[in-house]
Amino acid sequence: MTLFDLLKKKILKTPRKKFDRVFWTKFNREFEPRSLWSPFRIAIPATGVGLALLVALWLGFQKMNTAAPTEELITQVEILGDLDLLAAFDDLPLSEDEWEELVSKENHDG
């Protein structure tokens, strides 16, 4: 019997019970193959995107439904009315003299 045979019996130790559990937990954490399409990997970002879209839509509707100030609306209606009037004048076959007379009347009235 050699020194090494005797010594082996004295120094060889079995790892404690938790050794295997701890090792394989570390191993799986590092090397376990993860499916690219696993439900959780898709569900979490998809939920986030869905929520963001809902919030954006809701905010958009809110903005559209909010009434503009009354004064602003009146001004807009007047401008549109003037544009209609000008468009109507454009269609009239007026000579230069008639046109000047109409404008001078308009200025005089208004």
Partner 1 sequence: MERVQQGDVAAFRKLYDRYKSRVMSYLNMMVRNRAVAEELAQEAFLRVYRARASYGREAKFSTWMWTIARNLAIDHLRKKTETLLDPHQQEGSHRIEEIESPLSNAEVMLIRNSRQEQVEKCLSKLTHAQREVLTLRTLSELNYDEIAATMKTTLASVKSLIFRAKEALIHCLKKSES
Chain contacts with partner 1 (rule: CB under 8 A): 1-4, 6-8, 10-16, 19-20, 22-23, 26-27, 30-31
Q: How many residues does the chain have?
A: 110
**Cα 27 from chain centroid (whole Å):** 39
Tell me if 69 sits within 8 A of 61, measured CB to CB: no
What 8-state DSSP symbol labels residue 92?
S
Smallest distance, Å, CB 41 to partner 1? 21
Smallest distance, Å, CB 34 to partner 1? 14
CA atoms of 25 and 22, how far apart (whole Å)? 5
Smallest distance, Å, CB 64 to partner 1? 57
Q: Nearer Cβ to partner 1, position 27 or 58?
A: 27
Q: Nearer Cβ to partner 1, position 30 or 91?
A: 30
